[in-house]
Amino acid sequence: MQTHWRELFKGPRPAANVARVMEPLQSHLAPLEQGPEHRPDHQPALAQQLLDLSLPAWLVSALLSDHNDLCYRQAIEQALEQMQAQGWGPPPVSFCVIVMGSGGRHESLLHPDQDNGLILEDYPPEHHNEIDTWFLNLAERFTATLDQAGIPFCRGDVMASRPLWRKPISEWREQMRLWMSTRRVRLVQLCNILFDFAPVYGDEALAEALRDAILEQRAEAGLFMHEMAELFDEAPVALDRFDRLQGDGREAPHPEAINLKRQGLLSLTAALRLMALIKGCPEVGTRERLQWLHTQSQLSDDEHWCLSRAFEHLQAQLLDAQLQAWHAGAVPDNWLDPRSLCDGERRELQWDLQQIRRFQRRVRQIRN
């Protein structure tokens, strides 16, 4: 099989060939140092180049997420510099910007949106207006920059520019206590986004304090976790009762289309998120949660292998579909056309989804 790596031993000096092998990748990385505005033009080509270097899709996804994190840092630093130049002064208290959802799990592909929040150091209540105004200004600036860089505003308003997602750490702790002591559907839906978070800029100790608050609340969250299991029905895997591939039809571009993120990847991450919470797992990423649960004997060898394989294969299929759309001049999305798959690929996809559905049923039983 011919790959870029085969160039290493062409000629008498393999070490000298490394630069030639990596040159195509370097040509895509260099513009990304200049600012987030270069992301839309270069990230799909970067993904293709990484695949051409034979990296697995899960690692490409992690690197794309790392690049998005870089865009966050660049956007935040630009906003801080602008505010300093305009007389806003330095940040009035310590803070941490967090990313949530697939970005927090470091599993973004080529169709991300913004899910972010701000955790602030506690401050005297009498200074709330001036301090909150400062951070609102910061949030509005960096979220607007990210939107222009191809990481669009969240349609559900899960952004640091909204008061619900911007508050001092003591208020975050209280919010977790209140949200996790009930089984209201909307609050569970919001927590399903929040729980998969990671710090991207600022004082990471604030993010760790929030993580501790979530794990400490588990003992009082029985009804809440029961509702998490009930919400598995919101995103069933893309199989009918006869195990045939079938999308849910929501906003589908054609009747056969399957939203592989909503009815595959998110079905797995939802079940895994609940099991991780039940067992006190501190990890966020899917592969990391699977490994932790396996190490703690909460997953058998077979379960760990099957679910890891299903996750990695679904990511590979979706990334391939997104790159095909990009090469065709279309905007990458989360849709897969099963008609584009050969019989073996369809059977493989069915098998992946069967493993996820079986796991969902097992996690439900833990709660019931």
Confidence of residue 34 (pLDDT cuts 50, 70, 90): confident
- For the cut 60, the answer to whether the pLDDT of residue 21 exceeds it is yes
Higher-confidence residue of 25 and 206: namely: 206
What pLDDT is stored for residue 5 in this prediction?
77
pTM of the model: 0.93
pLDDT of residue 368: 44
Per-residue pLDDT tens digits for 109-167: 999 999 999 999 999 999 999 999 999 999 999 999 999 999 999 999 999 999 999 99
Return the number of other C-beta atoms located less than 10 Å from residue 303's C-beta: 17
Mean pLDDT is lowest, of 29-38, 202-211, 217-226, for 29-38
Torsion of CA 282, 283, 289, 293, to 10 degrees: -30
Task: State mean pLDDT over 273-279.
Answer: 96
Q: What is the pLDDT of residue 130?
A: 97
Domains in the chain (CATH in brackets) are 58-220 (3.30.460.10), 235-367 (1.20.120)
DSSP SS3 for 326: helix
Q: Which residues contact 261 (CB under 8 A, 6 or more apart)?
A: 109, 111, 318, 334
Contacts 24+ apart (CB under 8 A), 188-195: 188/224, 188/227, 188/228, 188/231, 189/231, 190/158, 191/224, 191/228, 192/228, 192/231, 192/270, 192/273, 193/100, 193/101, 193/115, 193/156, 193/158, 194/100, 194/117, 195/273, 195/277
- Share above pLDDT 90 across residues of the chain, in percent, rounded to a whole number: 83
Whether the pLDDT of residue 327 is over 60: the answer is yes
Q: What is the mean pLDDT of residues 268-280?
A: 96
For strand 198-202 and strand 335-336, is the pairing parallel, antiparallel, or unpaired?
unpaired
Using the Cα atoms of residue 359, residue 316, residue 28 and residue 139 in order, give the sign of their dihedral: negative
Of residues 198 and 29, more confidently modeled: 198
More confident residue, 199 or 368: 199
- The stretch 266-271 carries a mean pLDDT of 97
Give 291-303 pLDDT, tens digit per residue: 999 999 999 999 9
Question: Is 9's pLDDT higher than 90?
Answer: no
Q: How far apart are CA 137 and CA 156, in angstroms?
A: 20
Taking residues 251-279, report their average pLDDT: 95
| Mean of all residue pLDDT scores within the chain | 93
Residue 2's pLDDT is what? Answer: 62
pLDDT digits (tens, 9 = 90+) for 351-364: 999 999 999 999 99
Q: Is the pLDDT of residue 1 over 70?
A: no
